[in-house]
Structure 1
Amino acid sequence: MEAFTSDSTEIIVLAAAGGLFLIQIIYYLCLYNRIHARSRAVKQGDTHFTQELPPISVIICVCEESENLRRNLSAVLEQDYPKFEVIVINDDDTDKSEDYLTILEEKYPHLYHSFVPESSRYISRKKLAVMLGIKASKYDWMVFTNADCMPQSNQWLRLMARNFTPRTQVVLGYSGYERGKGWLHKRAAFDNLFTSMRYLGFALAGSPYMGIGRNLAYRKELFYQQKGFSAHLNLQRGDDDLFINHVATPENTRVETDAKAIVRMPPLLRAKDWEEEKIGYASTARLYHGMQRRLAGFETLSRLAFHATWTAAMIIGILHFHWLAAGVAFLLFLLRFTMQAVIVNKTACDLEEQRSYYFTLPVFDLLQPIQSLRWKWYCLFRKKSGFLRK
């Protein structure tokens, strides 16, 4: 009968694991399942969209990206949309992007391009490029993406525009990676998926707090009402996530996650590029308004604590030959893993990620918060001047 008994320590640790398990259940069902729930609602016709297709200005900022322009720009220019323009702001001419854009403008009359003056100093060149694109745009609705992003269909703009209701001022879209190989790429792809499940989940729950400029739309009127990037003009980053954090509200923000409205980046090849991007977002995240960042941090803390408590309870149970306690601890892990695998993989399927997460899921589940902590530590020890305008 000793195998079915437990001491007070085991009971306390199991109770803690059980409480943390319930917290994790709430997060996954109420937050991380939002994208899948929305996809199901759209298929069932339970989501309202507008039928109007207002003119759109697509703005792309580039820097030494002639190869990306040759690879992806035609897919943007050939969107099935009644009236739109594409504005490319070039931040460097050393790779002959200017020549290619000039040639392309002869074929596509709705393509325009300009450049960031070489003499520009003491302001983020990316923010300056965005502001130049906005100033040059003809239309109120602006859609932003990057030169390395390929729309997954010619319906991208139509699907983003179906969210342009009279009350809407911000539309958040999903951006992912193309399928690739290697451990680095798998880590980055999962991190991107999970991060999107988090910030898009909050937006779908009525608490938007950030956006990513690879697939993002907002009104020019909103940009000018908020005085552009003036609230954080001293920062090198923040032209997408921090700006959206300041302007997005439950009433003015919508999310588009249809698979045909996704833009994809090429597979990740260099760890340094990914690290710099993540460090950049970590440097602006500390300035976010609202409780969402703290709620996300609490989920991460409860996740790590859950893994610590169920593992400790199982080990203690095994050492004391209390197999019931050990079995209950493992059952908690198994139930959470099953729920997590179902939600993550259904979301990945909805987003046509072409990758499933089963055997790697427990590894990434622990690795993802460790990576996030690493980016934050980098921010603490890097000189503040590295995040300021130059």
Structure 2
Amino acid sequence: MEAFTFDHTEKILLVATGILFITQVLYYFCLYNRIHMRSRATKRGDTHFTQELPPISVIICAREESENLRRNLSAVLEQDYPQFEVIVINDGDTDESEDYLTLLEEKYPHLYHSFVPGSSRYISRKKLAITLGIKASKHDWLVFTDAKCLPQSNQWLRLMARNFTSRTQVVLGYSGYERGKGWLHKRVCFDNLFTSMRYLGFALAGSPYMGIGRNLAYRKELFYQHKGFSAHLNLQRGDDDLFINHVATPENTRVETDVNAIVRVQPVVRAKDWREEKISYASTSRLYHGAQRWLAGLETLTRLAFYGTWTATLVIGILNFHWLAASIAFLLFLLRFATQAVIINHTAKDLEEKRRYYFTLPVFDMLQPVQSLRWKLYCLFRKKSDFLRK
């Protein structure tokens, strides 16, 4: 009977570990499993799509991107879609982008390009470029991507457009990384997958709160109704996540996760580039409206607390030769790990991600919130001017 008797400390730790375990499992089944659930529903034919294919304006902002334009732009221009235009706003003219775009317009009459005036100052050049592209566009539906992004198939626009119902004003798509090598690439891919499971999961649950401009669509009238980026014009960025946070609602937002609607980004080569991207998003995340930011933070907090309590219970159980307490703690860890592995890897398979996460999962699971804290600390200790328009 002594095996079933727990001291006061063990009881507290076991109860805390159990509560944190239940909280974590609920997050995985109710939030992070949403993309997989959506994929299954779509395959069963349970998801409603429109048959209309309205004209589309694809807007791409490019800054010194001649190499990426040569590599990726043709795949955008050759989409299997009845009527669309592609508008490239060239920011910077020190490379060969201008000459290449002019030459390409001769082959593709639905390609147009313009540029950000070199004299533009004291305003976010990215926001100005997007605004110029929107003003130049001919059609109501706008689709956004980056010069460094490559559509996974020529059905990208068709699949995004099947979500353009009469009530829809925003469509969020998934962007993943192309296959790469090295530890940095593994970290970046996991972080991207997990972040997407979070913000797309919230959107699929009826609580959209952000979007990423690599694969995003919204109506032009929505942009003008909310006066463009005026709500956060003082910030250097926020053209995608903050804008969507400002305009998206449960009624006007849909999510597209079909594998042929994915755009792929080139692998990150330098840790510095990824760090700057993450810091820039961290700088605007504190301005998000809605409870989603706090709910995401609660998941991270309970995750770290779970690691702390199950480890403490395991250690105390071993030191006290109380194997039942140690076994319960380890069993809860294994059950959570199994839940994670199944949901994350099913989602990765649905999105045709090349990597699977088993042995590396606990490492990335702990590393991800540590990295997030690191980005936020960078924001605190940097000058505020680093995040304001220039």
Q: What is aligned with 2:120?
A: 120
Contact 1:4–1:323 under 8 Å retained in 2: no
Q: What is aligned with 2:259?
A: 259
Q: Does 1:384 align with 2:384?
A: yes
Provide the rounded CA distance (Å) in 2 between the counterparts of 1:249 and 1:195. 20
Query: What does residue range 1-390 of structure 1 map to in structure 2 within 5 Å?
Result: 2-390=2-390
Cα-Cα RMSD: 0.6
Provide the rounded CA distance (Å) in 2 between the counterparts of 1:344 and 1:181. 20
Q: 3-state SS of the aligned residue for 2:145?
A: strand
Provide the rounded CA distance (Å) in 2 between the counterparts of 1:193 and 1:260. 17
Q: Percent identity?
A: 83
Provide the rounded CA distance (Å) in 1 between the counterparts of 2:72 and 2:93. 18
Q: 3-state SS of the aligned residue for 1:86?
A: strand
Once the two structures are TM-superposed, the CA of residue 5 in structure 1 deviates from its matched residue by: 3.4
Contact 1:2–1:321 under 8 Å retained in 2: no
CA deviations over 1:120-164 (Å, ceiling 9, x no partner): 011000000000000000000000000000000000000000000
Provide the rounded CA distance (Å) in 1 between the counterparts of 2:2 and 2:323. 9
Contact 1:144–1:217 under 8 Å retained in 2: yes
Once the two structures are TM-superposed, the CA of residue 354 in structure 1 deviates from its matched residue by: 1.0
CA deviations over 1:313-336 (Å, ceiling 9, x no partner): 000000000000000000000000
Provide the rounded CA distance (Å) in 2 between the counterparts of 1:225 and 1:171. 17
Once the two structures are TM-superposed, the CA of residue 179 in structure 1 deviates from its matched residue by: 1.1
Q: 3-state SS of the aligned residue for 1:254?
A: strand
Runs (4 or more) in structure 1 with deviation over 3 Å come to: 1-5
Q: 3-state SS of the aligned residue for 1:60?
A: strand
- Residue segments in structure 2 that go unaligned for 5+ positions in a row: none
Once the two structures are TM-superposed, the CA of residue 11 in structure 1 deviates from its matched residue by: 1.1
CA deviations over 1:169-216 (Å, ceiling 9, x no partner): 000000010111111110010000000000000000000000000000
| TM-score normalised by structure 1 residue count | 0.99
Contact 1:86–1:111 under 8 Å retained in 2: yes
Once the two structures are TM-superposed, the CA of residue 3 in structure 1 deviates from its matched residue by: 4.5
Q: For residue 169 of structure 2, what is the amino acid of its counterpart?
A: Q
| TM-score normalised by structure 2 residue count | 0.99
Provide the rounded CA distance (Å) in 1 between the counterparts of 2:340 and 2:13. 22
Provide the rounded CA distance (Å) in 1 between the counterparts of 2:373 and 2:386. 19
Contact 1:185–1:268 under 8 Å retained in 2: yes
Contact 1:178–1:264 under 8 Å retained in 2: yes
Q: 3-state SS of the aligned residue for 1:42?
A: helix
Contact 1:3–1:321 under 8 Å retained in 2: no
Provide the rounded CA distance (Å) in 1 between the counterparts of 2:48 and 2:249. 18
Once the two structures are TM-superposed, the CA of residue 7 in structure 1 deviates from its matched residue by: 1.1
